[in-house]
Structure 1
Amino acid sequence: MLRYTLKRLGIFVGCLVVVWGLVYFGLAPRGLGASNGMWIVLLALLISGPISYVALRKERERASVGIVERVDRFKANMDSSRSQEDAADDAARAQEQTTS
């Protein structure tokens, strides 16, 4: 997951540099008033999103598999804990019934 995040951040930074260069040289509009920095960031986000979606497809699937494995492991641990609690509860109830 960290690898995907770093690659996505790298694509955004690359787009940010390209957009900044285009605005700096006057090939893209500068924005309105003091909004130049915000304009550059928003335009870079808008461009990097689709690029990341296409370019990082395999990485995203790999991260998804890792998340699914972690969730399955967590569910198995929860089921194991639940069955141990049920066994302990059943033993306590049986002990309680024999002493009554």
Structure 2
Amino acid sequence: MAWTWLGLAGLFEIGWAIGLKYTDGFTRPIPSILTAVSMVISVVLLGVALKTLPVGTGYAVWTGIGTVGTALLGIYLFSEPATVMRLVCIGLIVSGILGLKLASG
């Protein structure tokens, strides 16, 4: 169940990272509130997952999910560059996440 909590925490991390773009420097109230709520939920779920997962593994996977999701949504939503090198590097992060999952048993 810890991996499920960690996956959800990572999704909320993507939510707050993307939400930052919409807050316009925390000058827009609704996006700012939603972003802050996503931050809290993400960290709380990470904490729940870390009750049983090693902190290094949990934190690395959490940030990896956030990094990959945010980078891909940046490409999709904000027309950020999708160069071959960038996509290869995102793939390497995904490989690291899967490797940590497999190594943890």
Q: State TM-score, norm by structure 1.
A: 0.31
Q: State TM-score, norm by structure 2.
A: 0.30
